[in-house]
Structure 1
Amino acid sequence: MKVINVVSKESVSEFLNFPKLLFNKDENYIRPLDQDIENVFDSKKNKFFKLGECERFLFKNDEGKTVGKIAVFINKKYKQDQPTGGIGFFDCVDNQEAANFIFDFAKDWLQQKGMEAMDGPINFGERDKFWGLLIEGFSEPLYAMNYNPPYYKSLFENYGFQIYFNQLCFGRKIHDPVARNFLEMHQRISRNENITAKPLQLKSLEKFARDFTSVYNQAWASHGEGKQLTELQTLKMFKTLKPVINEHISWFVYENEKPIAMWMNIPDLNQWIKFFNGKFGILYKLLFLIIKKFSKNKKMVGLVFGIIPEWQRKGIDGFMIWEGTRHFQKTTDFEDYEMQWIGDFNPKMIRIAENLETKVTRKLATYRYLFDETKEFKRQEIL
């Protein structure tokens, strides 16, 4: 097997194009944007290069045909019981011998860096993109979500990888009836004249960024692995999302003028970019605007749902859900709702998803492989 370090223009192109050859008969495959993948490997755009290092490789058989690829990396911010590296952007033909060679290569690379385990497939970055192996629910992936054929599960597990944690996505039909208890919550909370619900408005983006930050930091930042957000960080995120924000589907709840809850949703970008074959240059950006205007997007994605502690378990969730749902049922073309993945180590967030009357739509897994097989394998601790 020949190993090629992906540094040349030709090897980068091969790295990006190889998955398409594997999925050319899979109607559910949506090619990620090339720029989203390349940004991961750009030290000027990916802040994690300040905390670690990353390389990517192609693997060719004796006939010179590409049979697999992988990225291997270490991240000092990725704190685990033992020094643990990562592998990601793995793709391989349905051949265990080829997969074992790739995994062995990654293991050797990481051992030379002092690692004692490897997790994968994960991203050299945050968990919101390209994280996990799809093991159930092989439907069209959400934007920046990993997608792979079913046989990858066997390639990982036959090598010795074990599930570190499962990643669950929850969804529902937009026009399915809302639970009676939600309607009762809405009716009860509506009697309180101090409580109001408002959709996000682009003309007041800075205000809603402040409100989002306030609710998020109270609801989630102190829970588990949550991080405090600054208003500047949130505003930057909102400005990035601005071209795709739909004002009908993100909702905030206030007690007088104090933000106490938020439900942030956006259209699924994959429903538009699936026509682009990974490209997003100037012409494709113009095409995006045209498609966005004239093509009905039928799927919306749940990003964040939060209620400040003093208003939790008091019916605000039902109030906000029915306020938002009855509005966008009438004003949008969305038919399906799906939330970004939630780790099975986070039962609190899973309960919130279930309270939205959702069902598990797909399952991904984060795998771990301990280099010393005599050591005890431990799953991610429950928060």
Structure 2
Amino acid sequence: MSRYNLVPVTNEEESKEFIQLTKTLYKGVKNYVQPIDDDIAHVFDPAKNEFFKHGECTRWILQDAQGKTVGRVAAFIDRNILDVYGQPTGGMGFFECINDQDAAFRLFDACKEWLQVRNIEAMDGPVNFGPRLQWWGLHTEGDQRPVYGMFYHHSYYKTFFEDYGFQVFFKQFNYRTELCEKSLNRIVLLKAKRVYRDKKFHTEFFDKKNIDKYIQDFTTVYNNTWVGEIPGVEEMTVEEVRETFEAMKPLLEERYVIFAYYDNKPVGFFVMVPDANEIIKHVNGKFNLKAKLYFLWYKYFQRDKTVIGQIFGVDRAFQGRGVEAILIEKFSQVIFTGKEKYKYLEFNWIGDFNPRMQHMMEEHLNAKIYKTYITYRYLFDRTKEFKRAEILK
């Protein structure tokens, strides 16, 4: 019998408790950054989260005998990817808990039981009820500040997951490099010159005045790069991409979003944004006037900032033809002028199942692993063979 009371989140007060828990759970932790409250709330709002159109979600808070909230978790189903893994697989995420195994296992059990009632046979976690690039994976190595849209986790969470029976499905690495001439392998520039011998190749910086064109180009490359290549990655619509660009609008800088073309057709992109967590760390979850003033100060006066390689994609039909080299060469035209305020480049999400991207990080950009996240899987049938995510070829 658990010493804790599991409370479904059904009203505004409970929703507030769900969000506010981390403000006490991580109080005084140096590298923790409280996410913007609205960013978390929007995940669970059917009016704001498109995933409710093809999925369902629930969440709980956990309270002790005195009524104090000591844990939280969410469980969800995305019907678009339900059967791509060999068994119907759901998700759990937004897990936070005091250092007590009984409390943690009560939260895990709640997710498992909710999913089993819906004929689900496994759960991945901690993951997002939304895109993979946000709130995905357990932070296990690299005691450093997370980038925007990613969690920082207590070190004892790893023991909870593994003692419960979760197994490593895949790891995600954050790579980091210092932005100086030495951070770029000169062979890349030579490779770019060879690629440009084919005059059909060219690159462009993003232009906000022609945003509709670039939204369409991004959509084309995204769907031609990952959909059908990585299980669980869903096709994006133009409208979904438009919403993503709109959400990033305050951070987008034209010279940090680069597109590659062949015969004027989009074949690659490299999207970078400033790390908003360098601002958000000061505002305790509220994007208010104080946050806006920090943003202006950061944008115009702060040096030694970090820019995030948010997403890097090359159309499958053009992989191995040097498109990544011409994107990096275009990027070097900006970053190595000596006029930029950015000192570090960090890549947020490089899966251990993607050796091509790991090679590019290490050999082309001289980047090193800076943080590690783990996506776990738990099979409800404990006799069934567990398989890790397949390595991309």
Alignment TM-score, normalising by the size of structure 1: 0.89
- Greater displacement, 269-278 / 214-223: 214-223
- Greater displacement, 18-27 / 183-192: 183-192
Out of 205, 208, 221, which is 2:214 matched to? 208
Deviation at 1:321, TM superposition (A): 1.3
Residues 240, 2 of structure 1: alpha-carbon distance in 2 compared, 3 angstrom cutoff = closer
CA distance in 2, matches of 1:295, 1:142: 20
Deviation at 1:207, TM superposition (A): 3.1
Contact 1:264-1:303 within 8 A present in 2 as well: yes
Equivalent positions of 1:107-186 (< 5 A) are 107-177=112-182, 178-186=184-192
Equivalent positions of 1:286-365 (< 5 A) are 286-287=292-293, 289-296=295-302, 298-308=305-315, 311-330=318-337, 331-357=339-365, 358-365=367-374
CA distance in 2, matches of 1:166, 1:323: 30
1:276 paired with 2:279, answer: no
CA distance in 1, matches of 2:373, 2:222: 25
Deviation at 1:266, TM superposition (A): 1.2
CA distance in 2, matches of 1:259, 1:114: 41
Number of positions where the alignment pairs a residue of Structure 1 with one of Structure 2: 382
Equivalent residue number for residue 68 of structure 1? 71
CA distance in 2, matches of 1:175, 1:91: 38
- Greater displacement, 356-365 / 192-201: 192-201
Letter in 2 for 1:274: K
What SS does structure 2 have at the residue aligned with 1:124?
A: coil
Residues 191, 33 of structure 1: alpha-carbon distance in 2 compared, 3 angstrom cutoff = same
Equivalent residue number for residue 12 of structure 1? 15
What SS does structure 2 have at the residue aligned with 1:341?
A: strand
Equivalent residue number for residue 368 of structure 1? 377
The unaligned stretches of length 5 or more in structure 1 are none
Please give the root-mean-square deviation of Cα atoms over the aligned residues, in Å.
2.6
Residues 227, 352 of structure 1: alpha-carbon distance in 2 compared, 3 angstrom cutoff = farther
Deviation at 1:277, TM superposition (A): 0.9
Contact 1:202-1:242 within 8 A present in 2 as well: no
Out of 195, 205, 209, which is 1:199 matched to? 205
Deviation at 1:363, TM superposition (A): 1.2
What SS does structure 1 have at the residue aligned with 2:336?
A: helix
Out of 246, 253, 258, which is 1:251 matched to? 258
CA distance in 1, matches of 2:34, 2:388: 31
Note the alpha carbon deviations across 1:69-127, whole angstroms, 9 max, x for none.
11122232232322322211111111112212222232222222322222211112221
- Greater displacement, 157-166 / 244-253: 244-253
What SS does structure 2 have at the residue aligned with 1:340?
A: strand
Contact 1:185-1:315 within 8 A present in 2 as well: yes
- Greater displacement, 154-163 / 69-78: 69-78
Deviation at 1:167, TM superposition (A): 1.4
- Greater displacement, 370-379 / 226-235: 226-235
Letter in 2 for 1:365: I
Letter in 2 for 1:371: F
Residues 158, 333 of structure 1: alpha-carbon distance in 2 compared, 3 angstrom cutoff = same
CA distance in 1, matches of 2:88, 2:239: 33
Equivalent residue number for residue 30 of structure 1? 33
Note the alpha carbon deviations across 1:187-241, whole angstroms, 9 max, x for none.
4456666654432222232333344344444444453345554555444433332
Equivalent residue number for residue 247 of structure 2? 240
Residues 289, 180 of structure 1: alpha-carbon distance in 2 compared, 3 angstrom cutoff = closer
Contact 1:248-1:332 within 8 A present in 2 as well: no
What SS does structure 1 have at the residue aligned with 2:342?
A: coil
CA distance in 1, matches of 2:77, 2:237: 27
Equivalent residue number for residue 105 of structure 1? 110
- Greater displacement, 23-32 / 174-183: 174-183
1:378 paired with 2:383, answer: no
Residues 135, 204 of structure 1: alpha-carbon distance in 2 compared, 3 angstrom cutoff = same
Residues 52, 245 of structure 1: alpha-carbon distance in 2 compared, 3 angstrom cutoff = closer
Among all aligned residue pairs of Structure 1 and Structure 2, give the percentage whose two residues are the same amino acid: 39
Equivalent residue number for residue 90 of structure 1? 95
Letter in 2 for 1:265: M
CA distance in 2, matches of 1:83, 1:325: 44
